[in-house]
Amino acid sequence: MVKIAPSILAADFARLASEVESVRTADWLHLDIMDGHFVPNISFGPDVVKAVREISPLFFDVHLMVLEPDPYLERFKEAGADRITVHAEACRHLHRTLSAIRDLGVKAGVAINPATPASAVQPVLHLVDLVLVMTVNPGFGGQRFLPETLAKLGEVRLLAERMGIHDLELEVDGGIDRTTAGPAVRAGATALVAGTAVFREADRAAAIEALRRAARG
Ligand code: DX5
Ligand code: ZN
């Protein structure tokens, strides 16, 4: 079953509690952390993650768009992250950062931008349970899906299988809606992040169900 992960970046922050409550039928909650350096936007930090943790039982899928995130890993774990995903492009010592996340006792993920090849994650695949293939350039919600990124899903899957890794999650993030969900899943995605496609709809449960249906094809 493909996991649906609504991104609260597209939620109404003035009504965050009810917005989070409205997506309780999802599988994961996706939390986008932007630092204004790695990406040209600033979102929110561990205190907001902690506040949302108090009201949501969902699996917390924390996506750090943060340059050199090592000093902040523990704070996100303490705030309630179930998985911490870092960008391959943002870590000087990616292997060390992913090992540090695992040592904290949470799951680790590695993300790659549209211009980063699949081969960038090969040396660290044994350290992660998820690879996030960005389907837009990170920094903003509501951007147009980049179909040329999808070929990397099959490439990552092949690298993993060759290493004897069979349970890797492949997540896509950016521009995912009921039109692009099908192609993403057929290309190998097992988890779909969706901000705009969920939160712009009045009925969030129906929006999540529409994505599940689109994912089934
Ligand atoms: C983009 C973020 C995404 C974003 C997706 O930098 O990582 O998670 O919230 O938003 P949509 O689904 O609107 O493209
Ligand atoms: Zn994200």
Q: How many whole angstroms separate alpha carbon 82 and alpha carbon 171?
A: 15
The dotted CATH code for 3-216 is: 3.20.20.70
Is residue 103 flagged as an active site residue? no
Single out the catalytic residue among 32, 35, 61, 177.
32
Q: How many whole angstroms separate alpha carbon 170 and alpha carbon 111?
A: 10
Q: How many whole angstroms separate alpha carbon 194 and alpha carbon 30?
A: 8
Mutate to test the pocket of ligand 1, among 19, 83, 143, 201 (most ligand atoms within 8 A of CB): 143
In the chain, the DSSP E strands lie at 3-6, 28-34, 59-65, 83-87, 107-112, 130-134, 169-173, 191-194
Strand partners, 172: 133, 192
Looking at residue 200, its pLDDT comes to 98
pLDDT digits (tens, 9 = 90+) for 156-187: 999 999 999 999 999 999 999 999 999 999 99
Q: How many whole angstroms separate alpha carbon 158 and alpha carbon 169?
A: 13
Strand partners, 112: 133
Of the pLDDT bands very low, low, confident and very high (cuts 50, 70, 90), residue 217 is confident
Mutate to test the pocket of ligand 1, among 13, 31, 32 (most ligand atoms within 8 A of CB): 32
Q: How many whole angstroms separate alpha carbon 164 and alpha carbon 160?
A: 6
